[in-house]
């Protein structure tokens, strides 16, 4: 049975504004209400006739929101038409995903910092820059947990772990929305894509998702709950069908769970034409069916397609959709508009001094990029580079590219402000050094090898070679699924050719997803994973390469050895025949005598190339004295896990201390490990610090056989360390009250 619609307005507005929403709602005609539920897009190049048509629709109250209006004057012209018409302001949305003019590292890279505070600050900068031209609402954060690196949109989220996605999602919501709804320089956030979109089969965009309810509740829902708890004002439903029902028609997921159980009081917007696409799904016969299914399910605003505009009035007239359901949607939309202060201040004024690309914004972008870089390999202390490296060969198509390192969803970024690695190195090393650039290949996907010889000759003459390879931005993001995760084009062959020079090679990888690097690891002495690092990526990479700041990023998603291992993730189930991690080849046994017959592969190790949480430093950290504050913990009690972390190396460093638990026995099988806490700390050489994680029964809870959520008494193993293979351990018993 679906949750009944609560006619009471949400209680997060002053009483005067609540009354205003209710009075306005009572005055609106059904046509006006449907207009509020309709969002239109503005083409980048709009002809005069189309512009006038849209203005006319706005005056008539048939459009309540726009997306992709990135021009202040046009925005104010449309807003004027709305205020002169029905007197209800328009809401203007835009995909401000990881920056506006100042582009920050992609969200997956930000997750590698394991510092939600940095992500919150970055979102605050993006909101200030976007609001300056009249953007009220962004379609971020994307909190789809995913175990699928083939999926292009892995770049937009925070990886494979629900705790990481929850903390980053909540932080980004608070960053975008500022001190409170409608605060100066803030925008409304939108948690997307509800729900389980990251579970798309085979990593294909828009694909089917099959997710048992237990997994849905334990893995995919927690980040949305965290965003709701953080006050997110809107939620976008996904393109996917969930267990056979498209999300745009999923009444249980939208009304019962999101608006009911989670208590979401904002409004739900569809994704781009996702309502109409239900005809293709085979869930609806025509757009009348579409309008019926989505309005009943709880989609409050339709993006771009026009099923509501064409058919919702008829459905209400014939009693197929209740007026209460329409009023609930419109009340939610009007409330958000009031929260944002649009009724009082509908127009956007030109600021005397623009905040876009302010020095503080660029400094923060550099800081976030530094924290996101992950050192994967560093043989013979190849890094940091020495001061006497005065002749540097910089190779690769991405080394002097101001565009592609910005990554997906960066169309508003100012390419002129983007600082490449070549520019950063030349500025850093000055005129007394030689930094020579050899593209090697024309672009990241090219198979043209004619530049190999010049690059090899340059590398042979250099003290060190920095080789920048990876993915261009256009094969990362929406509808950018890949069947192979290798370096595209001839890049791997280029690296192999350069290795023959005998010059130390430092490989810098720029990409929007995990790549399979098994071959490349053999040819480079050091590997730094830079993701798509944004506007200040070049200076940030130079800072880390030369040791001005230590590498501190950790992987928020497991890196497979080969695409055949996908999906591969740290919090897997043990099975009845768990692997030891080293098996490879045909087992000695047979089904009649199953010696060595375990959950493994014949042709590759079962372990990832790099596990979740992994990342090297220029120093070494030792873990000891892992302790639980009590060996027996009652269900109602809070308790603590602590560990001593010591910098036993010779350089200062930053470590992400990670806490994992294993529930030894459960009424349903439990993962081998689950992340329950993390903290970034800085330590000088020889310095120690005790890191403490507070916990309670809620942190141990999961969905049981009947889907009731709670912790179960029993023994728990505790692991604290620098990645998901942490060995320092203790144990405790959870007992009934």
- Residue 721: which residues within 8 A CB-CB, separation 6 or more? 623, 657, 658, 660, 727, 728
User: Which pairing describes strands 391-395 and 464-470: parallel, antiparallel, or unpaired?
Assistant: parallel
Angstrom distances, CA of residue 736 to CA of 634, 635, 704, 713, 730: 6, 6, 17, 6, 20
Strands (E), 389-497: 391-395, 434-438, 464-470
Distance CA 710, CA 218 (A): 11
Distance CA 426, CA 192 (A): 41
Distance CA 467, CA 601 (A): 33
Tally of residues, the chain: 737
Say if residue 567 is preceded by a cis peptide, omega within 30 of 0: yes
Beta bridge partners of 702: 710
- Residue 524: which residues within 8 A CB-CB, separation 6 or more? 377, 467, 495, 499, 505, 506, 507
Q: Name the residue among 147, 45, 130 with its Cα closest to residue 95.
A: 130
Tokens representing 735?
């007992």
Distance CA 39, CA 639 (A): 49
CA angle 24, 27, 33 (to 5 degrees): 80
- φ/ψ of 193, rounded to 5, equals -105, 115
- Say which residue the tokens 């690891």 belong to: 521
Distance CA 369, CA 189 (A): 23
Distance CA 596, CA 589 (A): 6
CB atoms within 10 A of CB 83: 18
HSE (side-chain half, CA atoms, 13 Å) at 235: 39
Kindly write down the DSSP assignment for every residue of 573-627, as one continuous string: B--SS---S---S--S-BTTB-TT--S--SSS-SS-SB-TT--B-SS-EEEEEEE
Edge-first strand order for the sheet with 714-721 is 632-634, 728-735, 714-721, 653-663, 674-683
Distance CA 490, CA 487 (A): 8
Q: Which of 115, 136, 218, 271 is catalytic?
A: 271
Q: Name the residue among 62, 126, 51, 127 with its Cα closest to residue 90.
A: 62
Kindly write down the DSSP assignment for every residue of 180-219, as one continuous string: STT-TT--B-EEEEETTGGG-GGG-TT--B---HHHIIII
Distance CA 422, CA 432 (A): 15
DSSP classification of residue 699: G
- Is 596 one of the annotated active-site residues of the chain? no
Kindly write down the DSSP assignment for every residue of 669-692, as one continuous string: --BS-EEEEEEEEEE-TT-EEEEE
CB 176 within 8 A of CB 187: yes
Q: Name the residue among 120, 115, 147 with its Cα closest to residue 219.
A: 147
CB 507 within 8 A of CB 72: no
- Say which residue the tokens 């781009």 belong to: 272
- Say which residue the tokens 């954060």 belong to: 141
Active-site positions read 271
């Amino acid at each position: 049975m679906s949750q009944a619609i609560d006619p009471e307005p949400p209680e997060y507005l002053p009483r005067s504004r609540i009354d205003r929403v209710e009075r306005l709602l009572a005055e609106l005609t059904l046509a006006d209400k449907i207009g509020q539920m309709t969002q239109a897009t503005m083409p980048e190049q709009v002809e005069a006739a189309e512009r006038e048509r849209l203005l006319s629709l706005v005056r008539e109250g048939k459009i309540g929101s726009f997306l992709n209006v990135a021009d202040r004057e046009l925005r104010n012209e449309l807003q004027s038409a709305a205020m002169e018409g029905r007197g209800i302001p328009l809401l203007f949305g835009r995909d401000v995903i990881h920056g506006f003019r100042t582009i920050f590292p992609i969200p997956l890279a930000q997750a590698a910092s394991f510092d939600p505070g940095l992500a919150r600050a970055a979102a605050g900068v993006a909101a200030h820059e976007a609001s300056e031209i009249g953007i009220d609402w962004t379609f971020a954060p994307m909190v789809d947990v995913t175990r699928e690196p083939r999926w292009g949109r892995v770049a937009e989220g925070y990886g494979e772990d629900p705790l990481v996605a929850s903390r980053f999602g909540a932080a980004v919501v608070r960053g975008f929305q500022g001190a409170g709804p409608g605060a100066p320089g803030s925008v409304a956030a939108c948690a997307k894509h509800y729900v389980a979109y990251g579970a798309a089969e085979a990593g294909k965009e828009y694909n089917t998702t099959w997710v048992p309810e237990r997994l849905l509740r334990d893995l995919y829902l927690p980040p949305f709950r965290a965003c709701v708890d953080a006050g997110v004002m809107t939620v976008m439903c996904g393109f996917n069908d969930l267990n056979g029902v498209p999300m745009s028609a999923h009444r249980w997921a939208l009304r019962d769970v999101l608006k009911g159980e989670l208590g979401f009081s904002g409004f739900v917007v569809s994704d781009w034409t996702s309502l109409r696409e239900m005809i293709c799904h085979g869930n609806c016969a025509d757009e009348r069916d579409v309008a019926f299914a989505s309005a009943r399910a709880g989609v409050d605003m339709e993006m771009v397609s026009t099923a509501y505009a064409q058919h919702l009035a008829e459905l209400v007239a014939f009693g197929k959709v209740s007026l209460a359901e329409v009023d609930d949607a419109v009340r939610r939309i009007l409330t958000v508009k009031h929260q944002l202060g649009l009724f009082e201040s509908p127009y956007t004024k030109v600021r005397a001094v623009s905040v876009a690309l302010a020095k503080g914004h660029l400094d923060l972008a550099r800081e976030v990029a530094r924290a996101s870089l992950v050192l994967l390999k560093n043989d013979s202390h190849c890094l940091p580079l020495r001061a006497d490296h005065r002749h540097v060969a910089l190779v690769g198509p991405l080394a002097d590219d101001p565009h592609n390192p910005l990554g997906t969803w960066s169309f508003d970024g100012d390419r002129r402000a983007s600082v490449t690695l070549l520019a950063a190195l030349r500025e850093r090393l000055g005129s007394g050094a030689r930094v020579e650039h050899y593209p090697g290949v024309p672009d990241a996907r090219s198979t043209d090898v004619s530049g190999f010889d010049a690059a090899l000759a340059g590398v042979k003459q250099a003290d060190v070679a920095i080789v920048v390879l990876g993915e261009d931005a256009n094969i990362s993001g929406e509808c950018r699924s890949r069947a192979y995760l290798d370096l595209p084009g001839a890049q791997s062959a280029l690296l192999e050719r350069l290795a023959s020079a005998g010059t130390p090679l430092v490989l810098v990888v720029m990409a929007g997803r995990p790549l399979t690097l098994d071959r490349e690891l053999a040819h480079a002495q050091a590997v730094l994973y830079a993701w798509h690092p944004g506007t200040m990526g070049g200076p940030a990479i130079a800072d880390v390469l030369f040791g001005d700041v230590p590498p501190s990023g950790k992987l928020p998603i497991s890196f497979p050895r080969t695409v055949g291992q996908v999906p591969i993730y740290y919090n897997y189930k043990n099975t009845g025949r768990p692997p030891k991690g080293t098996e490879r080849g045909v087992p000695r046994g047979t089904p009649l005598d199953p010696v060595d017959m375990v959950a493994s592969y014949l042709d590759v190790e079962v372990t990832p190339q790099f596990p979740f949480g992994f990342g090297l430093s220029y120093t070494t950290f030792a873990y000891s004295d892992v302790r639980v504050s009590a060996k027996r913990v009652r269900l109602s009690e809070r308790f603590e896990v602590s560990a001593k972390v010591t910098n036993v190396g010779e350089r200062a460093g930053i470590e992400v201390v990670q806490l994992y638990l294993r529930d030894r026995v459960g009424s349903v099988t439990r993962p081998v490990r689950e992340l329950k806490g993390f903290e970034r700390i800085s330590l000088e050489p020889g310095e120690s610090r005790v890191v403490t994680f507070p916990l309670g029964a809620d942190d141990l809870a999961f969905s049981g056989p009947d889907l009731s959520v709670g912790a179960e008494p029993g023994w728990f193993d505790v692991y604290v360390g620098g990645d998901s293979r942490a060995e320092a351990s203790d144990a405790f018993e959870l007992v009934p009250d």
